[in-house]
Structures are given as structure tokens and as C-alpha cells.
Copies of this chain bind each other. A is one copy, B any other.
Amino acid sequence: MSGVSQDLYEAMSTLRAVRRLRRDPIADDVLRRILQAAAWAPSGGNVQPWRVVVVKNREKRRAIGDLYQPLWQKYAAGHHEHLSKLSGEVLAKQKRMLAAADHLGDKLAEAPVLLVYCFNPANMAITDSNMDRPSIVGGASVYLAVQNAMLACRAEGVGCVLTTLLCAEEAAIKSLLKIPEEWYTCGVMPLGYPVGKGHGPISRRPVNELAFADTFGNGVVL
């Protein structure tokens, strides 16, 4: 399991969403390291209640892309409207992001690999499932693996981005990929080598806006 040497903190701090992807194939050994990274992730009870369908088949990618395009266009409409409230560098940044996302909306199927993440809730202890608010804890047994895969992509120079819009077409995806009844989908991740610079600087909130000391709202100072 040697392969690529990559500093952990450098990988995390340069993991960008890469939405303009080249059609060039991804070598099997690169894909294997990305999938192995996902497989190493912890999960509740070490059950690993997730699977991933690695879609290389051109017709299946096209079918998934055809499902994604209208979902993205509908979703993006709200975003484009939002732009009218912005100005300056914030507007410019949002426009660049949206242009890249619109590109992906049209070209998802051109990514050489689509990872379709699946989960089986029967194998999960979803501790917030009966509460009077949205449940998200089931995600703990899947998205830790997804983050490992994304960091591995970064290490391998492969662009990627996680999309969850395709849940709205879950029935069609399940039929296309012969996903059994008791398994569901929770994300699609196109993989491909970047058209542009790919990974690089990211823009995130400072730690003291996200982390609090002993009391919510009490910004941590470390």
C-alpha cells in the first residue's frame, strides 16, 4: 500500500472541489488507492454499511449525467438569482464557482469515473432517527469514508467533488446499477484529472468561528 507520498495537512488544506474534469482515464492503481483509502475509514461498530459503485461504463455514465443535468439546472436557478445580491470579490468568486458547477451540470458524464455511494440503513445504529428534528447521524458511517476518498484523490492529483442532488433520482439510479432494494444512494462523486490547476488554496471560516470553548458561541482562542 505504498504508492504516493502526501503530507496530511497539506492534502486537507488544498482539497478543493474540482468541477472541470478531463476525459482521460484514471489508472487502476490510482483508483485502487482511492478506494482503499475509503475502505480504511472507521464506522459505527466497524460495520462499514456503505458500498460504492465505480461507474466507468460510458452508457451508464451518460444515463447518470442525463439525470443530473435537469436537477442541477433547477437547483442552480436559485443560486443565479442570489448573485444579484452580491458584489465585488464575493460576486466574482461565486460567479466562477457557478460557472464551474454549470459546466459539471452539463458534463458530468464526461468524467471517466463516477463513484456512486450507497448505504444500508438496516446495518446502521442511527441514534437520532426518532427525534423531532432532521436526522443526520446515519451519515457518520458513510461520509468518513467519502472524506478519505477525497483526500486520496487530492494525493493522487485527481479532481473530485461530492454531489448529493441525485438522491432525487434514486429510483432510476438503483435500477441502472442494480442496487438492491435495501440499499440507497447518498452521493455521486465524479473523478477526473483537472482541466485547470485543480487542487489549491481553499476559503474557509476561521477556527474561532467554528470552535467554541466550553459554551456555544464562546469562540475558542488557542
Write the residues of chain A forming the contact surface with B, with a CB cutoff of 8 angstroms. 1, 3-9, 11-13, 15, 17, 28-29, 31-33, 35-42, 44, 46, 48, 50-57, 60, 75, 118-119, 121, 124-129, 131, 133-140, 142-144, 146-148, 150-152, 155, 162, 164-165, 167-168, 170, 177-180, 183-184, 186-187, 202-207, 210-217, 220, 222
Contacts and interface: CB of A to CB of B under 8 A. Distances in A.
Contact of A222 (B32, B57, B118, B183): B32
A42 B140 CA distance: 15
Contact of A215 (B178, B202, B211): B178
Contacts of A142: 136, 139, 143
Instruction: Say how many copies of this protein the assembly contains.
Output: 2
B180 A216 contact: yes
Given A184-B133, A212-B54, A138 B140 contact: no
A119 B148 contact: no
